[in-house]
């Protein structure tokens, strides 16, 4: 899949389609993972070419965006349910690390700055998401030699 398309409208439409695919129950977990991975890649590419706020606004302002809006609004609860499911398994030692699906969901949440939303701050068990997001932003800042996030300083 060539993600280096020059048209922002094509990128937006592709992001909408992939967010819809990520929510389809008829797809296998591998197919849903693939759609989440490419959705993250597209969002990251769009953010490189414009500000984070404008990318999210663009995705929400399109007429065809209901699938993305549904994914965006259900992501905090989906993250919390997946975390509550996997955390005891990891703490008991049955599984060494979180699943690839959960890692993709966390990555998508970090890319969309989900931890800064009031709806995510209301969830009492979401302190781990805030810490992970800050750590991710710090790592990104160090990697690309940009300014550190205000929450870290």
Using 50, 70 and 90 to split pLDDT, how confident is the model at 89? very high
Tell me what percent of the residues of the chain surpass a pLDDT of 70.
76
Q: To which residue do tokens 């800050």 refer?
A: 134
For the chain, the C-alpha Rg in angstroms (whole number) is 16
pLDDT at 94: 93
The answer to whether the beta carbons of residues 5 and 11 sit under 8 Å apart is yes
pLDDT at 88: 93
More confident residue, 69 or 98: 98
Q: What is the largest CA-CA distance in the chain?
A: 48
Give the separation between CA 90 and CA 98, rounded to whole angstroms.
7
pLDDT at 109: 86
From residue 6, give the alpha-carbon distance in Å to each of 12, 38, 64, 141, 153. 11, 16, 20, 26, 36
pLDDT tens figures, 21-70: 888 888 888 888 898 898 888 888 877 766 554 555 555 555 545 666 77
Give the separation between CA 82 and CA 98, rounded to whole angstroms.
10
What would the 3-class secondary structure string for 96-114 be? CCCCHHHHHHHHHHHHCCH
Question: By three-state DSSP, how is residue 85 classified?
Answer: helix
pLDDT at 113: 81
Report the chain's mean pLDDT, rounded to a whole number.
Answer: 78
pLDDT at 64: 46
Position 102 pLDDT exceeds 80 = yes
More confident residue, 65 or 91: 91
Q: What's the average model confidence in pLDDT over 106-122?
A: 76
Backbone angles phi, psi at 49, to 5 degrees: -95, -10
Least confident of 2-11, 18-27, 134-143: 2-11
């Amino acid at each position: 899949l060539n993600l280096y398309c020059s048209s922002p409208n094509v990128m937006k439409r592709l992001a909408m389609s992939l967010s819809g695919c990520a929510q389809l129950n008829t797809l296998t977990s591998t197919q849903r993972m693939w759609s989440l991975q490419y959705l993250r890649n597209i969002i990251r590419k769009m953010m490189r070419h414009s500000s984070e706020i404008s990318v999210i606004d663009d995705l929400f302002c399109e007429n065809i965006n209901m699938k993305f809006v549904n994914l965006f609004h259900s992501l905090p609860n989906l993250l919390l349910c997946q975390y509550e499911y996997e955390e005891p398994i990891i703490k008991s030692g049955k599984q060494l690390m979180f699943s690839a699906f959960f890692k993709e969901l966390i990555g998508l949440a970090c890319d969309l700055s989900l931890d800064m939303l009031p709806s995510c701050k209301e969830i009492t068990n979401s302190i781990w998401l805030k810490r992970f997001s800050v750590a991710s932003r710090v790592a990104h800042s160090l990697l690309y030699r940009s300014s550190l996030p205000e929450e870290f300083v």
